[in-house]
Chains A and B, each alone.
Chain A
Amino acid sequence: MNEQTPAGNFDEMDSVCIRFAGDSGDGMQLTGTQFSVVTALEGSDLSTFPDFPAEIRAPVGTTFGVSAFQINFGSVEVSTAGDEPDVLVAMNPAALKVSLAGLKEGGIIILDEGAFNKRNLDKAGYDSNPLEDNTLDGYQVQKLDITKMTLESVKEFGLGKKDALRSKNMWTLGLVLWMFGRDRKPITDWLEQKFKKIPDVAKANIAAVNAGHAYGETVEVSGELRRYSIGKHEVEEAGEYRTVNGNQALAWGLVAGSQLGDISLMLGSYPITPASTLLHTLSGLKEFGVMTFQAEDEIAAICGAIGASFAGNLGVTSSSGPGIALKTEAIGLAISTELPLIVVDVQRAGPSTGLPTKTEQSDLFQAVWGRNGDSSIVVLATSNPQDCFDVGIEAVRIATKYMTPVMVLSDGYIGNASEPWKLPDINKLEKFPVKHHTDTEDFHPFKRDPETLARPWVKPGTPGLLHRIGGIEKDYDSGHISYDPKNHQLMTDTRAEKIANIANDMPEQSVSLGTEGGKLAVVGWGSTRGAIHQAVKRARAENIDVSHIHIGNIWPLPRNLERLLKSYDKVIVAEMNKGQMNKLLRAEYLLDAYSLTKVTGQPFKITEILDCIREQAGDAS
C-alpha cells in the first residue's frame, strides 16, 4: 500500500481526540479498536474509552442504543481518553444527539447524511433535521452519504444490502485513516485474517476501507476536508510495545504471578459485565496450568476457588460489584480459614444492577469493610491498563505469602480501555516460589510464621499433616474449634495484625507528580489517575503549588501515607463515588480533606479536576 508520508498539506497537531459513535450494531467498537491499533503502531501515545450500552442490540436508531468509542492520541503524553472530542464521527441522528454536547467548540463532525431520514430523526427525538436547522452552527460539518458510497464500493461482491451496509464502518475508518495519514495495511491484513473463510466479505470490507480513503483524496483537492499530522510520541523507554486493555493485562498479570510463584491458578467465575473478559482470557490459557470453572453462580464461583486453594492451588474469582456482594460470605470463610484467594472486582456503577457498562469506584467500602465480623483483607487498586499487569503479580505474591484473600479493584473504564504497554520479560521479574508445608514436626494448622503471621499451607495428600479447618473460630495454640472468649479476642487481633503488617512489605506511598509537602495535593486511586495527572500537570504549569498522590495499596494503607498527606496545607480527594476514600482517610488519619466526586458513569474530565484545583488553591493561599 502506497502511503505518502505527511507532507505540506497536513496541519500539525500535538494530540487529537476522536469519538466514533453509531448504533450498537454499527461496529463502532471494532472501528475504534482497529484505529487504535494503527495509531499505536505508528508510535502515538494513546488512551481509549469504549462507551457502550448494556443492551446487546438495542432498537436500531434509538439514543439509548448508541455505542461510542473515544480515542485520544498524540505526540505528547496522553493519559486520558480526552475531555472533549475534536472530531465526532456520527453514523446516525441518535449518535449525533448523544455525542454533540461533549464535542469541542468548533470541532469537526463527519456524519452519514444517508442515515438522516425521517424515521431515524424521529427515533432520535429530533423535531427538525439538525442538518437543516442551526443545531450544528459553529462546527465544521462534513455531510457525506456514507450509506450510498459504501453500497457502491462493495457492489461488485454481490452481497445483500444488509450485509453490504455492514461495511459502513470500514468506509468510515478508511476516511479517518486518510485524515490522519495513517497506514491502511494493518487494517487490510487484519480483515484478510478475520474473514479468511469468507473471502468475499474480506474483499468487500477492504474495498470499503479503500473507498473511504480514496474519497478523502478526491475531496482533498476541493479543500473541504483537511488532513492532520500527529507526530510520534517520544517515549523514554526503548523496548517492544503493544496495546493492552485492563482486563487482558490483569489476566496476564495473574498468569505471570502464577509462573513467578510456581503455583497453579484456578479461576472460578460467573459471567458479569464488565469482568467477563477475564474469564474468557484465562479460559484460553490452559497450557499455563490455568484451570477455569464457569460456576452456576457467583457464590459457587468463589467457593470453587476456595476449594482449589484448600487443595493447594491458588483460587481466583472475578466479578463486578453485585457479584462481589454475593461472594461476601465466602470471602469471610477464606479470611477465617486463612487461605490464599484473589478476588477481582471490575467495578461498575451501582447500586444493584446500576449501570452495568458504565464505570464507577463505589465498591471501595465493600472491598475494605463489607463483611460480617472484623474481617480485614488486602485491597489493591489498579490505576490503568498496564498497571493491571503489575497488580496481578503483586496480588499473587501477597495472597500466597500471607495466606489471605486479596481484593483487586479495577473498574469498567480500565477494564475496557487500551493503552500502549512496554512488554516485560518474565525472565527478569522477581520469582517468589510458593512452598507448601510438609514438615510434620510440631504441626498444627494455625501455627503461624513468627514474621508474616501466616499459617502453614498444607496440601491435602501430604502424609502426617491431617487436619480439619472451617469457619468456626480456631484455638490459637491447637487450631481446633474454640469458643473461648479470650481466644477469639486473640485470633481477631492476630488476623488484623497480620494484614496491617503487610504494609511493611509494600512500597511507601510516592508522589506521582510534584513535591512532598506544599500547599495542595490531589489524592486519587484507581482509574482517575490519568485525569488527575493531566490536571495537576496543567495547574503546575499555571504555577499552582499542587502535587498528585495516587494510592494503589488501599488496605493496608501505605505506612508513610499519613505523614505524607499531612505535609500539605490542603488535600483534595477526587474519586468516582460519593466520597468513600475521603471518608476512609478521615477515619484513619482524621484528615480534613475536600471531597471531589462524580457519579455519572463517565470518567473525570481533566478540566473538572483542574477547576477544583484552581478553586481550592485560591482558598488555600
Chain B
Amino acid sequence: MNEQTDVKKLTFKDFETDQEVRWCPGCGDYAILKSVQMTLANIGATPENTVFVSGIGCSSRFPYYVETYGFHTIHGRAPAVATGVKLANPDLDVWLVTGDGDGLSIGGNHMLHVLRRNVDMQIMLFNNEIYGLTKGQYSPTSKPGSKTPSTPMGSVDLPLSPCSFALGAGARFVARGIDTALKALPITLERAKDHKGASFVEIFQNCIVFNDGTFDQFTQKKTAANSQIHAVHGERMIFGKEKDKGLVFNLEKFALEIVTIGENGVKEDDILVHDETNKMMAHMLVELTAPDFPVVCGVIYCNPEESYNDAVHNQMNAAKSAKKADFNALIRQGRTWIVD
C-alpha cells in the first residue's frame, strides 16, 4: 500500500482482509460487514487513518475482517479503549463495534459515558437480543419470557431499548438500521460518519443459530413496508405498502398514533414531518415497537455539539500557548534552598 501512487478510488474489496471470516453461515454480521466495507469505500476512507475497536462477542470479531487498523479488546470496555485512541490521536477515524451484551450489559457503564462525553466516533451496536458466543443465554434486550439455557422457564426481567438508552445518556446522534438492508444501512452509516461526536447506530442483526427470526415482524420483505418507517429529516413520516399510513401527534393523549390518509378527513399535510433535531420527538419515535407501531429506522436524532476530544485538545492547546514547558522551572516552583 503506497500512498503516493495509489490514486485509484478504493472499492469495498479493498477493505477486506486476508483473514477467514468465522461467523456462522447465514449470520447477519456478514451483511453488516459488507455494508461497512461499502461505506468505507463510499466515504473515501483512508485505511491507515481508520481504526476499528471492539469488545468481546460475535460482533466484536469484526476488526479482524476490515483492512484498517484494529483492536479487539476486552468484554464491554471498547468504548473506553476507543476514547483513549481518539484522545491520543484525534485525526484517526474511530469505529466501535459492539453488541447488546457487550455494549449494554457488561459495558453499559462505558456506553453511557462515551455517549455522554460525545467522543467523536461511530458506534455500531449489533442487537440480536441474545448472547451468541456463549451459546444462547438471554441478553438485556431479549424479549420477556425468552426461554434460553439460563432461563429454562423464560426470562423474567424487562429488556431495555438501546436507542432510548442512548438518548437518555445524552447521545447527539441516534440511528437505526437493519443488517440485511444493504441500500439503507450504508446511507445511515455515512450520516454517522459525517456527524462530529458520538454517533450511535443500533443495527438489528439476526442470530440464525440462537434467536432466528426475532425481528421478522418488521424486517421481512412482505411485512417491512407496513411495519417500518425510514425517517428522513424534513419528510413526512408516511409508511405502508400504499404509502397511505402516517404518524400524527395526538395532543390529548400526548402520544403518537397511526392514521390513514384519506380516512376520517386525514390529509397528507396532517402527517408529522420528521425533525431530527427534536429530542422530544426522537424519544417518542424510538419507543414505537412492532406490532402496534412501525419500527423507525434511519437517522432518528442528530443535533451536534462540540466533541469531547475537541474540547480536551482545545484545553491542551490553550495551556501550551499560555505556558512554556520548562521542566527545570516546574520543579523549582515554590520554595527552594541552596546547599553550598
Contacts and interface: CB of A to CB of B under 8 A. Distances in A.
A312 B89 contact: yes
A554 B47 CA distance: 42
A459 B17 CA distance: 19
Nearest to A427: B328
B331 A242 contact: yes
B284 interface: no
A145 B110 CA distance: 55
A400 B73 CA distance: 20
B110 A287 contact: no
Interface stretch (A62-70, A467-475, A488-496, A513-521): A467-475
A576 interface: no
Interface string A240-264: 1111000000001001100100001
A423 B328 CA distance: 8
17 contacts: A43-B337, A43-B339, A186-B335, A239-B339, A240-B337, A243-B335, A286-B316, A295-B80, A300-B79, A303-B73, A307-B80, A307-B82, A307-B88, A308-B88, A330-B77, A466-B68, A470-B72
A20 interface: no
A307 B170 CA distance: 23
Contacts of A264: 88
Contacts of B322: 287
A240 B319 CA distance: 28
A241 B339 contact: yes
A460 B89 contact: yes
Contacts of B51: 311, 460
B336 A266 contact: no
Nearest to A256: B327
A348 B31 CA distance: 51
B244 to A, nearest CB: 47
Contacts of A286: 315-316, 319-320
A465 B48 CA distance: 8
Contacts of A424: 331
Contacts of B84: 266, 268, 293, 303-311, 315
Interface in A119-163: none
Given A242-B332, A242-B336, A463-B1, A468 B83 contact: no
Given A266-B88, A333-B74, A468 B69 contact: yes
Interface string A265-276: 010100000000
B335 A37 contact: yes
Given A239-B339, A300-B113, A466 B47 contact: yes
Interface in A433-485: 459-472, 480-481
Given A293-B87, A466-B69, 14 more contacts: A289-B316, A295-B80, A300-B77, A300-B80, A300-B109, A300-B110, A304-B81, A307-B80, A307-B86, A423-B328, A459-B89, A463-B48, A466-B68, A467-B69
Contacts of A11: none
A284 to B, nearest CB: 9
A259 B330 CA distance: 13
A426 interface: yes
Contacts of B334: 242
Interface size on B, as a range, is 35 or more
B329 to A, nearest CB: 10
B324 A287 contact: yes
A604 B80 CA distance: 40
Nearest to A311: B88
A619 interface: no
A115 B102 CA distance: 58
B301 interface: no
A341 B263 CA distance: 66
B89 A469 contact: no
B184 to A, nearest CB: 28
B64 interface: yes
Most buried by A among B51, B88, B89: B88
A40 interface: yes
B307 to A, nearest CB: 14
A466 B337 contact: no
A303 B80 contact: yes
Contacts of B19: 480-481
Nearest to A329: B74
Given A297-B109, A300-B113, A468 B49 contact: no
Interface string A304-325: 1111111111010000000000
Contact of B85 (A43, A239, A308): A308
Interface of A: 37, 40-41, 43, 186, 235, 237-243, 252, 255-256, 259, 264, 266, 268, 285-289, 291, 293, 295-297, 299-301, 303-313, 315, 329-330, 332-333, 337, 422-427, 459-472, 480-481
A513 B92 CA distance: 53
B38 interface: no
6 interchain residue pairs of minimum CB distance: A307-B84, A470-B72, A468-B70, A286-B319, A303-B80, A311-B88
Nearest to A296: B113
B242 interface: no
A265 to B, nearest CB: 10
Contact of B67 (A41, A235, A307, A466): A466
Interface string B220-250: 0000000000000000000000000000000
Nearest to B313: A291
B63 interface: yes
A460 B338 CA distance: 47
B91 interface: yes
Given A461-B92, A466-B1, A471-B72, A287 B87 contact: no
Contact of B83 (A43, A293, A472): A293
B134 interface: no
Nearest to B71: A310
Nearest to A469: B71
Contacts of A426: 327-328
Nearest to A260: B327
A256 B73 CA distance: 30
B43 interface: no
Instruction: Find the residue from B73, B86, B323, B334 having the highest chain A CB count within 10 A.
Output: B73
Nearest to A233: B339
Given A255-B327, A300-B80, A312 B88 contact: yes
B7 to A, nearest CB: 14
A259 B327 contact: yes
Interface in B8-51: 17, 19, 47-49, 51
Contacts of B316: 286, 289, 291
Interface string B298-325: 0000000000000010011001101111
B336 A240 contact: yes
A266 B313 CA distance: 12
Contacts of A238: 338-340
Contacts of A289: 316, 320, 325
A400 to B, nearest CB: 14
Nearest to B312: A291
A303 B73 CA distance: 9
B87 A291 contact: yes
B198 interface: no
B64 A468 contact: yes
B194 to A, nearest CB: 21
Contacts of B70: 467-470
Given A300-B110, A315-B84, A471-B73, A461 B49 contact: yes
B41 to A, nearest CB: 16
Contacts of A422: 339
B85 A240 contact: no
A303 B113 CA distance: 13
Contact of B81 (A306, A313, A468): A306
B126 to A, nearest CB: 17
B110 A296 contact: yes
B58 interface: no
A16 B25 CA distance: 78
Contacts of A186: 335
